[in-house]
Amino acid sequence: MRLTILAMAAAAFAAEAPLIPRELLFGDPERAAPTISPDGKKIAYLAPHNGKRNVWVKTIGKNDDRAITNDTKRGISQFFWQQDSQHTLHLQDSGGDENFHVFQTDIDSKSTKDLTPEAGARAGVIATSDKYPDQMLVSMNKRNKQLFDVYRVNLKTGELALEVENPGDILNWTADNDMQIRAADAMAGMIQESRVRADAKSPWKVLRKQSLDETNGGIVGFSPDNKSAWLISSVGANAARLVEVELATDKEKVVAEDPNYDISGAIVHPTKNTLEAVSFTRAKTEWQFFDKALEADYNFLKSKLGEGISIGSRSNDDKSWIVTVSTAPRPAEYYFYDRANKKLDFLYAARPKLKDYKLAEMQPVSYPARDGLTIHGYLTMPIGVSKNAPTVLLVHGGPWARDSYGYSGLVQLLANRGYAVLQVNYRGSTGYGKKFLNAGDKEWAAKMHDDLLDAKAWAVKQGYSDAKKFAIMGGSYGGYATLVGLTFTPEEFTCGVDIVGPSNIVTLLKSIPPYWAPMLAMFDKRVGSLAKEEDFLRARSPLFKADRITKPLLIGQGANDPRVKQAESDQIVKAMRDAEKPVEYIVFANEGHGFANPENNLRFFAATESFLAKHLGGRAEPPSAAHDWKPFLK
């Protein structure tokens, strides 16, 4: 009885917290991703223009901010400076189809041209260099949709020339510091190979072979003299470490490692190409420095800005930096750092209006799974609540990915509406070494799901969560996990929200993008073989247990999703309706694998909070015409 009274008091206290408008969490940030030009004279950033996210440019020290792109459909998310400091480059697809093209914009004329105009092809940037400011190397599946060749782009004329042809098994290409393709990572059956060559005309040799039992890795760069390759590998260790291999002798040395955590990032000098620091993402991201001057600057910035700092971009002379600071309850803020004079000036806050609200902190947690494996994750409690909260188990996608500490608009929305948010790095997640990764092999809907059930049991036992008000939600694999939760264990969860989740592993694997074909061996190992284990895959597919669903379900889908086709959602919705099971189904015609348009995020999460309020009892911002999801119900 005492626990009930305390819970009621906590809920009442939480209800007094101001309701954060959805627009502040899911609308476009006012300004984001500021990036300094190579010459250190200008800053480019993302901000709304004519209702869509576009690239803006300003001269440092002047108030001459102007939009230079005019994307009217999807908004721009990925951009960077060309080395001439006169152009920006950005990537964009069409309606979420993930066939990205590389576009170039002149900052004076504001004219934009497509540098990789092949229809239906997907392009990616491999390298640019201050040594060759008018050149760029791109990968593109123009010749064969399954394979990515390398092209050299003349950035002055737009001429596109084939540089290296894919022999049929290359997944990734790496250029050296002279913009020559000198390394490649391949999938040769069940073996991953890292290959190198002495120069652009020399034959390839195998530098490293590893089985699929190793963590994902490969060649990530070259030493400043181009005589050694930097390799991420877990061979000879549990977790992925950074090693340096001398190409002439194959002599190898370990640069950085942790016995339990994979290497997660690196800082390299913008022109000298020296390795200055690496990071490991433990409970939070931690840096190991090799450059003492950089470490001193980092510590100075930390003393001024607090936790959560990162070096966003640097001018080529390394005298000017853009610094970002962000933590779970602190959305990104950006600063200009005059390195020589140790002068720090505030630039922008991505979401300044959120300063009027108190945001929830994210707490790293861990618990033992039923077989003794330690599972790590994060718990976010509503402001003013410490016990017995209605809870959303928010499952990350991938599944070969992980949740990390940091700001999340979705987590803050859920916490503000009165829910505890539990994020779990279940077995098979990356970042925790190969033993943990391999523990997820062929465990979809089995031990990977048990880890989620154990998370629920742990949260309830600790008193954080109300077992009778416990939802499951996620995107991609997290959407699949949601469907598994409501079909395989229909009494465990109060309701579920599935975003672009596959319902049938068989049809999922039969409809993967063509350029995933070289990775099929990995799917055979980690999920199951389509050729040899179709019955097994069907047994792990929620579609065939749809008649067991007893709890409310909301599904969101992008019509152009190339990874999880709309048919994956269509078929389970049909099965549910054939079995007279209620389901709410929202489809956005201009979206892919997830929702990139802010207006669709606002609509879907308006539907989500209304759905959760109905079934978990939390709060919801009143519906608005601008965020109305009903026209998209299918």
Are 422 and 340 found together in one domain? no
Dump pLDDT digits (tens) for 300-330: 999 999 999 999 999 999 999 999 999 999 9
Q: What's the length of the chain?
A: 634
Amino acid identity for residue 222 in this structure: F
- The CA–CA distances, whole Å, from 536 to 487, 540, 541 equal 16, 7, 9
Give 193: exposed, middle or buried? Use CB within 10 Å, 0-12, 13-18, 19+: buried
Q: What type of residue is 76?
A: I
Within-domain flag for 482: yes
Query: Within this chain, do residues 459 and 493 fall inside the same structural domain, yes or no?
Result: yes
The pTM score is 0.96
Which candidate, 478, 473, 543, places its Cα nearest to that of 505? 543
Positions marked catalytic: 476, 561, 593
Which tokens hold the place of 523? 């799917």
Phi, psi of 586 (to 5 degrees): -115, 130
Q: Are the beta carbons of 413 and 427 closer than 8 angstroms?
A: no
Structural domain includes residue 36: no
386 φ/ψ angles, rounded to the nearest 5 degrees = -125, -10
Residue among 291, 149, 286, 172 nearest 229 (CA): 172
Same domain, 492 and 617: yes
Query: Residue 240: its pLDDT value, please?
Result: 98
- For residues 385 and 427, membership in a common domain is answered with yes
- Is the pLDDT reported for residue 15 higher than 60? no
Residue carrying the six token digits 């391949």: 186
| Residues near 2 by beta carbon (within 8 Å), at least 6 away in sequence | none
Count of C-beta atoms within a 10 Å radius of residue 50: 9
Same domain, 171 and 269: yes
Quote helix, strand, coil % in the chain, to nearest 5: 25, 35, 40
C-beta separation of 267 from 277 below 8 A: yes
- Is 401 found in the same domain as 314? no
Q: What is the mean pLDDT of the chain?
A: 96
Beta-carbon neighbour count of residue 82 at 10 Å?
20
pLDDT at position 3 over 60: no
- Work out how many domains the chain is built from and give that number: 2
On the CB side of 238, CA atoms within 13 Å amount to 11
pLDDT average, residue stretch 172-176: 98
Q: Is residue 53 part of a domain?
A: no
Mean pLDDT value of segment 26-53: 97
- Using the 3D structure, point to which of 331, 351, 371 is the last residue of a domain: 351
Question: Has residue 448 been placed in a domain?
Answer: yes
The residue assigned the tokens 């630039």 is 347
* Nearest one of 285, 382, 280 to 329, comparing CA atoms: 382
Whether residue 619 sits in one domain with residue 478: yes
* Residue 594 DSSP label: B
Are 502 and 524 a contacting pair, CB within 8 Å? no
Say if 38 falls within a structural domain: no
Is the residue at 450 inside a domain? yes
364 plus 340 within the same structural domain: no
Do residues 336 and 428 both lie within one domain? no
Tell whether 365 and 320 lie within a shared domain: no
Full DSSP string of 478-531: HHHHHHHHHHTSTTT-S-EEEES--S-HHHHHHT--GGGGGGHHHHHHHT--TT
Structure-token pair, residue 164: 């290296």
pLDDT value at 12 more than 70 = no
Boundary residue ending a domain (332, 351, 370): 351
Percent of the chain with pLDDT over 90: 96
Q: Which residues of 224-253 are buried (b: 16+ CB within 10 A; e: fewer)?
A: eebebbbbbbbbebbbbbbbbbebeeeebe
Separation CA 174–CA 180 (nearest Å):
8
- In angstroms and rounded to an integer, the radius of gyration of the C-alpha atoms of the chain is 25
Helix, strand or coil, per DSSP, at residue 297: helix
Please give the residue range of the domain that contains residue 606: 2-22+355-632
Is 261 in the same domain as 394? Answer: no
pLDDT at 480: 98
In a domain, 250, yes or no: yes
Once rounded to an integer, what is the mean pLDDT over residues 444-460?
A: 98
Report the C-alpha gap between 32 and 34 in whole angstroms.
Answer: 6
Sheet of strand 78-81: strand arrangement: 78-81, 87-92, 101-106, 112-114
Q: What is the pLDDT of residue 147?
A: 97
Is the pLDDT reported for residue 10 higher than 50?
A: no
Residues 283, 405 within the same domain:
no
In the predicted model, is pLDDT for residue 449 greater than 90?
yes
Of the candidates 351, 378, 404, which is a domain's last residue?
Answer: 351
Full DSSP string of 324-385: EEEETTEEEEEEEEETTTTEEEEEEESSGGGGGSPPPPEEEEEEE-TTS-EEEEEEEPPTT-
Whether 71 is in a domain gets the answer no
The CATH number linked to 472 is 3.40.50.1820
Tell me the CATH number at 299: 2.130.10.120
pLDDT in tens, 461-498: 999 999 999 999 999 999 999 999 999 999 999 999 99
The beta strand positions in 523-569, using DSSP E, are 553-558
